[in-house]
Amino acid sequence: MRAVVFQEFGKRPEIREVPDPVPAPDGVVVKVEATGLCRSDWHGWMGHDSGIALPHVPGHELSGVIAAVGAGVTGWSAGDRVTVPFICACGRCAACSRGAQQVCERQEQPGFTHWGSFAEYVPVHHADTNLVALPDGMPYATAASLGCRFATAFRAVAGQGRVRPGEWVAVHGCGGVGLSAVMIAAAAGARVVAVDVSPGALELARTFGAEVALDASALPGGVPEAVHEATGGGAHLSLDALGAAVTCENSIRSLRSQGRHVQVGLLPSGAHVPMDRVVALELEILGSHGMAAHDYPAMMAMVASGALRPELLVTAEITLDAVPDALMALDTAPATGVTVITPNAAP
Ligand SMILES: [Zn+2]
Ligand SMILES: [Zn+2]
């Protein structure tokens, strides 16, 4: 099969013929019809993640058709249309046993812990735990856009964040996860304040249902004060969708009493949490990490009904041959929206 392979971190990836994958006894091989290009792939290529063995094939936001099935798989057949969460669980550890596959103790991530989906075929392990069926009529590009950023936002807003109609939700950072969170919160009947420094991102946030869009670079009084003013006392739920010390602290300070902060963005440089405020206002500080396959049906139903429209986030489709340039450009050319790769499309 053809795949995007890198031999060294930070060096140009190339398109290469590599052996076709074979399914593990409890796994499947998926013919990749669409796979999202994500900043995490760029970090992996740069060598920022431990655990990637070289040579390597990136790609973790995939959808496609099952091409081969291991002998121990009970629930799936060749020809089924599927996607997977970017965190693939073992199905047997203590976390998996209580239904929390998104924090599985032996979790794997295609494109990180093993070869991923920037290829014509990709293996998926523990298929009965991790595969999600695509509703009839859902395009592969839409499905590929769900697995990482959209599903993460869904669990952060609806799951960990427990959003309710009429509440004010502040979203700090309007990249892929943040814009998804804006759309999901608005669809849940919440009133959304979007915060970013990019006029383009704020414009998209308005399109996706934000009632208020705040340019953080033009608020001399500070972001939290502006959120308190816009919401008449502070947000009920606030998310740091970027993962920076300043957006984390702004999010917590944006809350009214007994509000919920959900940390979605990773915080590689650490955080400053105003604990005095957490205590005095009885704030809740929550983390959110992907979403288990068995939690997908509620999200899929809202997509199928048109209440959620993740396809609006897909702004470009490219072939496998265009991946090396697109991957290397991710750092300098931040895309608004999601780019989807179609490895099996006719050239
Ligand atoms: Zn991703
Ligand atoms: Zn597990």
- Cα 157 to Cα 5: distance, rounded to the nearest angstrom: 35
Q: What is the pLDDT of residue 315?
A: 84
pLDDT-derived band at 266 (thresholds 50, 70, 90) equals: confident
* Mean pLDDT within 50-69: 96
Decide if pLDDT at 331 tops 90: no
Decide if pLDDT at 347 tops 80: no
Q: Is residue 199 reached through a cis peptide bond, with omega within 30 degrees of 0 on the bond before it?
A: no
- Cα 36 to Cα 241: distance, rounded to the nearest angstrom: 18
Ligand nearest to the CA of 293: 2
For 21, 135, 189, 231, the CA distances from 25, given in Å and listed in that order, are 13, 26, 44, 53
* C-alpha 100 to ligand 2 mean position (Å): 8
Decide if pLDDT at 268 tops 90: no
* Mean pLDDT within 60-67: 97
Decide if pLDDT at 337 tops 80: no
Ligand nearest to the CA of 266: 1
* Mean pLDDT within 284-309: 95
pLDDT-derived band at 335 (thresholds 50, 70, 90) equals: low
Ligand nearest to the CA of 106: 2
For ligand 2, a single-atom ion, which residues have Cβ within 5 Å?
89-90, 93, 96, 104
- Cα 333 to Cα 315: distance, rounded to the nearest angstrom: 14
The encoded tokens of residue 107 equal 């979790």
Ligand nearest to the CA of 94: 2
Q: Which of 4-8, 83-87, 269-273, 279-283 has the lowest mean pLDDT?
A: 269-273
* C-alpha 176 to ligand 1 mean position (Å): 9
For ligand 1, a single-atom ion, which residues have Cβ within 5 Å?
38, 40, 148
Q: What is the DSSP string of 285-299?
A: EEE-----GGGHHHH
* C-alpha 152 to ligand 1 mean position (Å): 9
What percent of the chain has a predicted confidence (pLDDT) above 90? Answer: 88
Decide if pLDDT at 333 tops 80: no
Tens digits of residue pLDDT in 282-291: 999 999 999 9
Decide if pLDDT at 267 tops 70: yes
The rounded Cα 75 to chain-centroid distance in angstroms is 25
Tens digits of residue pLDDT in 174-208: 988 999 999 999 999 999 999 999 999 999 999 99
Encode the chain in three state secondary structure: CEEEEECCCCCCCEEEECCCCCCCCCCEEEEEEEEEECHHHHHHHHCCCCCCCCCECCCCEEEEEEEEECCCCCCCCCCCEEECCCCECCCCCHHHHCCCHHHCCCCECECCCECCCCECEEEECCHHHHCEECCCCCCHHHHHCHHHHHHHHHHHHHHHCCCCCCCEEEEECCCHHHHHHHHHHHHCCCEEEEEECCHHHHHHHHHCCCCEEEEHHHCCCCHHHHHHHHHCCCEEEEEECCCCHHHHHHHHHCEEEEEEEEECCCCCCCCCCCHHHHHHCCCEEEECCCCCHHHHHHHHHHHHCCCCCHHHHEEEEECHHHHHHHHHCCCCCCCCCEEEECCCCCC
Q: What is the pLDDT of residue 49?
A: 82
Tens digits of residue pLDDT in 140-177: 999 998 988 999 999 999 999 999 999 999 999 998 89
Tens digits of residue pLDDT in 214-236: 999 999 999 999 999 999 999 99
Mean pLDDT, the chain, rounded, equals 95
